[in-house]
């Protein structure tokens, strides 16, 4: 029986939905993020705002939400030259991967998260990785995650479960999952406080939240929200 979890929580739509599901499922939940010189401090601010709002408006979850951890991973800047860590425009590489790709980044995240979970005596690692995402990061694939689950469990002699609630669902379904977990208040929290835009735009407000509206992350979030909204039942008409 799994009762405790560590959520890899970046402050975006996906990891916020994963955090809500973990708070729904488990009795004790902690959060972790990695600071590796992201161009936009807004991501780190967004996650603190989301945690504050969850604690303030979801009393059924607030008492389960424990420590938040921020691990310094500046070393990633020494092995990558990408648009997340340097001032380079976002683009797709000829490999078909976006130039934000840091090889093996998610493997490092999971390894450090497992070490932290070991020390904090947390049983489950929760991550919002997704195979249906546009980007096709090889270290977010289901096979990679299953291999990591085995390697971490063997290497730390502790049985870890890696929970990936978004692995097989699209962005519209991620919005629907948030609604199922926390109703319209959670959807509104995600719209208002999570951050996805690669350009760090917190000026332009859309129905789906803040962002430039044109970078790949904004396009994905916007398209998903539109498909989600189109599937919502019409409000009941008065008799
Ligand atoms: Zn954007």
**Extents of the domains making up the chain:** 4-187
CA 221 / ligand 1 centre spacing (Å): 9
The topology (CATH level 3) of 4-187 is Rossmann fold (3.40.50)
Is pLDDT at 53 greater than 90 in this prediction?
Answer: yes
CA 49 / ligand 1 centre spacing (Å): 19
Residue 227 sits at the vertex; the CA angle it makes with 222 and 231, to the nearest 5 degrees, is 145
Distances (CA, A) of 228 to 168, 178, 213: 16, 11, 17
Is pLDDT at 205 greater than 70 in this prediction?
Answer: yes
CA 76 / ligand 1 centre spacing (Å): 23
Residue carrying the six token digits 């504050």: 52
CA 46 / ligand 1 centre spacing (Å): 15
Query: What is the token pair recorded at 176?
Result: 């629907």
Residue 4: partners with Cβ closer than 8 Å, 6 or more residues away: 26, 27, 28, 29, 121, 122, 123, 124
Q: What's the predicted TM-score (pTM) here?
A: 0.90
- Average pLDDT of 169-195? 97
Decide: helix, strand or coil at residue 8. strand
CA 115 / ligand 1 centre spacing (Å): 33
- Predicted confidence at residue 155, as pLDDT, reads 98
CA 224 / ligand 1 centre spacing (Å): 14
CA 194 / ligand 1 centre spacing (Å): 13
Residue 167: partners with Cβ closer than 8 Å, 6 or more residues away: 129, 130, 131, 142, 145
CA 204 / ligand 1 centre spacing (Å): 10
Contact yes or no for 150/191 (Cβ under 8 A): no
Is pLDDT at 57 greater than 90 in this prediction?
Answer: yes
Is pLDDT at 21 greater than 70 in this prediction?
Answer: yes
CA 188 / ligand 1 centre spacing (Å): 19
Helices vs. strands in the chain: H and E counts, helices first: 7, 7
What are the tens digits of pLDDT across the range 90-133? 565 655 555 656 788 899 999 999 999 999 999 999 999 998 76
CA 201 / ligand 1 centre spacing (Å): 6
Nearest to 5 by CA among 165, 180, 162: 162
CA 217 / ligand 1 centre spacing (Å): 6
């Amino acid at each position: 029986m799994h009762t405790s979890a560590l959520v890899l929580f970046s402050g975006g739509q996906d990891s916020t939905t994963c955090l809500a599901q973990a708070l729904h499922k488990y009795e004790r939940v902690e959060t972790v993020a990695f600071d590796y010189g992201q161009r936009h401090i807004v991501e780190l601010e967004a996650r603190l705002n989301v945690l504050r709002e969850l604690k303030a408006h979801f009393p059924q979850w607030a008492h389960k939400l424990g420590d938040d951890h921020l691990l310094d991973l500046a070393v990633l800047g020494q092995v990558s030259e990408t648009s997340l860590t340097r001032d380079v425009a976002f683009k797709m590489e000829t490999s078909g991967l976006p130039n934000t790709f840091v090889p093996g980044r998610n493997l490092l995240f999971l390894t450090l998260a497992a070490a932290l979970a070991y020390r904090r005596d947390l049983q489950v690692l929760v991550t919002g990785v997704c195979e249906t995402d546009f980007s096709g990061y090889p270290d977010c694939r289901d096979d990679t995650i299953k291999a990591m689950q085995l390697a971490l469990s063997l290497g730390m002699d502790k049985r870890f479960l890696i929970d990936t609630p978004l692995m097989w669902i699209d962005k519209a379904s991620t919005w629907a999952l948030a609604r199922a977990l926390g109703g319209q208040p959670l959807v509104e929290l995600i719209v208002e406080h999570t951050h996805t835009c690669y350009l760090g735009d917190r000026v332009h407000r859309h129905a789906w939240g803040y962002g430039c509206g044109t970078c790949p992350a904004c396009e994905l979030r916007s398209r998903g929200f539109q498909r989600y909204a189109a599937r919502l039942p019409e409000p009941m008409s008065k008799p």
